[in-house]
Amino acid sequence: MSPSEKVYNPSKEIVKRALIKSMDEYHKLYKEAEDDFEGFWDRLAKDKIDWIKPYHKVLDETSAPFYKWFVGGKLNVSTQCLDRHLDKRGDKTAILFEGEPGDKRAITYRELSNEVNKAANLLKNQFNIKKGDRVVIYMPMIPELPVAMLACARIGAIHSVVFGGFSADSLRDRIIDATAKLVITADGGHRRGQPNMLKPVVDEALKDSCESIENVLIVKRNKEKVNWVDGRDHWYHELINDESNVCEPEVMDSEDPLYLLYTSGSTGKPKGIQHSQAGYILWAQLTMEWVFDIQEDDIYWCSADIGWVTGHTYILYGPLAVGTTTVMYEGVPVHPDPGRWWKMIEDYKVNQFYTAPTAIRLLHKVGPDEPGKYDLSSLKILGTVGEPINPDAWIWYHENVGNKKCPIVDTWWQTETGGHMLSPLPGATPTKPGSATFPLPGIFPEIMDENGNKVSANEKGLLCIVKPWPSMLRTIWGDPDRYVSNYFSRAKKNGKPVYFTGDGSIYDEDGYIWITGRVDDVLNVSGHRIGTAEIESAIGHHPDVAEVAVVGKPDAIKGESIFAYVVLKTDHPKETLTAGIKEVVTKEIGPMARPENITYVPGLPKTRSGKIMRRLLRSVAKGETITQDISTLEDPTIVGKIQDSMKH
Ligand code: PRX
């Protein structure tokens, strides 16, 4: 990726409707936060949140980096997303759902509120779920998924949504780590025209060490036959209509946990990122207004899966907090053909469309002319998230989907940040394809070198956030030490530990920020974040594997693909072995973590202290000529041997 020459300015039409209309207005807001940090957040929190009881302090830093925001405030996030809209927007569509087979549902705010209240009562009355209990949700992209999440929020239970692509082993690990009481799932969903079964995965997960789970609540979706455990398993549709549609919202503290979402780090097992109530919902709402410029009659669509943070914040919480209409789609973009998404944009007259670079690249590849077959003139703003977008994909998106008139908001953020951090503002920021441009007001990033000094233009450094922000993660569930060591031990400013993102980046000469990718051992495969350590651990469980190292290899569609170097215990027929290794990974993590390439090598390049030189392995995977100094390796001849193995 290299900084592109061309700058794209917002069109007059967009500026006219935009909430923030110029860089001057952006700078003014940014400066407000700079000059009076707490005053800035105080103003917004008072303005945007319906408090049950006001907070008495904006920010408590006494136990930093365990920051507390809006201390003493009481609220309920489901009320913020539903009840407060009912007078004005009760009959407005909240969710426009489309299933992969083509079934449709339009759910109004009132209907959604009724369903959430009933589900909240169901969790309380039938399953004894109380404030603070953990509920694991493993569901397809159907409306009962947001209903389940909001029902948890209403009664103060902490939800932990597990992406439907994770295996039984991964699901079990998350259930155990969270000591969840209940699993909410479905028989299955629809994917690529096939039933995508989920209940059997839950059954498999619960076979072992999940004593905390008392019940499983199952939504009927694809009507496939499922196994049944009497006493433990319950159909949602058989119970829900016995419940009242009035459930008093639990009074929650600003800092009570709202949800956990597990994500990968560079070492060890996935970490349960813990988000709060007030700070999270405030930022979800504000970024919907600033970045997507949501206005009353807009139809908004984020194509992510709710199993990831993008879906949490930008399909559910953000859109409902601002009272917009959020589109939700169950399936894949290429079923039954590569025009599916463009047809949906035409059908629903979508105004804001938010997706991932990997999807843009895929749709460009399989159907470059497809967008032209549909009326996409309703589109006003396009968004991307999840990985750096290459300028080619950006330009195709801009020209063919946005018809050269829609600004593209390239939003940089993470599971940990809760919401957007760097992003253009559609009516203000001149964009450069491939750059997430500038921080949002209230967000203070700094690109630092290893010594904590701000880097100069065009010099690569570590992206850090030097002040706390309301929607930041609060801790890692059950592991506060790891929270500190993962995020607050690498960089300091004025002697104070600051948040380290794990990403490398540069400023260009105009101050635009360009993300260069992870600097830790975390891969980004089709926008899915996977730690190399997790994949290595899975592969290491194969009985024939002695040692393994996994690196990312650039991939034209997926961004990165998984490349595994495997040292075997014995010589073994390679064909069945490769399939067997992929199978272990599928079982332990899920199909998205399966290595694309497995190369059998006689050894791994290690320093004399035993550290694997991954940089070298990345270069070899790319087929680059090795220019690095390999004399410090324990066995410098190993590099040539590995390169030889790649030829076979
Ligand atoms: O490396 C960055 C990349 O995705 C990582 C966060 O992954 P995850 O927690 O799964 O959240 C993804 C959705 C918010 C980041 O550390 N990333 C995310 N957005 C961008 C990005 N890289 C470049 N440009 C982006 N817009």
Phi and psi at 302, nearest 5°, equal -110, 125
Is residue 410 within 8 Å of residue 423, measured between CB atoms?
yes
Helices assigned H by DSSP within 380-447: 391-396
Residue 43 CA to ligand 1 centre (angstroms) = 29
Integer Cα distance of 138 and 175 in angstroms? 11
Closest atom of ligand 1 relative to the 423 alpha carbon: 26
- 413, 417, 462, 514: residue to mutate for ligand 1 pocket, most atoms within 8 A of CB: 413
What the chain holds in terms of domains, given with CATH numbers, is: 522-647 (3.30.300.30)
**How many of the other CB atoms lie within 10 Å of CB of 442?**
20
Contacts 24+ apart (CB under 8 A), 293-298: 293/14, 293/17, 293/18, 293/19, 293/352, 293/380, 293/381, 293/425, 293/426, 293/427, 294/319, 294/322, 294/324, 294/352, 295/17, 296/323, 298/324, 298/325, 298/351, 298/352, 298/380
Q: HSE of 450 in the Cβ direction (CA atoms, 13 Å)?
A: 1
Query: According to the model, what pLDDT value does residue 4 have?
Result: 54
Q: How far is the CA of 412 from the centre of ligand 1 (A)?
A: 6
Please tell me the pTM assigned to this model: 0.96
Q: What pLDDT was estimated at residue 249?
A: 98
Q: Supply the pLDDT for residue 42.
A: 98
Task: Report the nearest-CA residue for atom 4 of ligand 1.
Answer: 386
pLDDT below 50 — which residues of the chain? 1-3
Q: What is residue 1's predicted lDDT score, i.e. its pLDDT?
A: 42
**Within a 10 A sphere around the Cβ of 428, how many other Cβ atoms?**
26
Backbone phi, psi, residue 560, to 5°: -135, 145
Q: For 360-409, what is each residue's pLDDT tens digit?
A: 999 999 999 999 999 999 999 999 999 999 999 999 999 999 999 999 99
Q: Name residues contacting ligand 1 (CB within 6 A).
A: 263, 309-310, 385-388, 410-415, 436, 501-503, 515, 517-518, 524, 529
Q: Which of 273, 354, 360, 385 to mutate to test the pocket of ligand 1 (most atoms within 8 A of CB)?
A: 385
Quickly list H helices, 516-610: 532-540, 574-588
Chain length of the chain = 648
Pairing of strands 491-493, 496-507: antiparallel
Q: Which residue of 163, 309, 503 sits with most ligand 1 atoms within 8 Å of its CB, as the best mutation to test the pocket?
A: 503
Rounded to whole angstroms, how far apart are CA atoms 136 and 148? 10
Closest CA to 276 of 478, 68, 135, 554: 68
Q: What is the pLDDT, as a whole number, of residue 629? A: 85
CB count within 10 Å of CB 632 equals 12
Model pLDDT, residue 626: 87
Instruction: Output phi, psi for 7, to 5 deg.
Output: -115, 135
Q: Which atom of ligand 1 is nearest to the CA of 528?
A: 10
339: closest CA among 301, 366, 308, 312?
366
Q: Among the atoms of ligand 1, which is closest to the Cα of residue 529?
A: 10
CA-518 nearest atom, ligand 1: 1
d(Cα 401, Cα 394) in Å, to the nearest integer? Answer: 10
Nearest CA owner, ligand 1 atom 6:
414
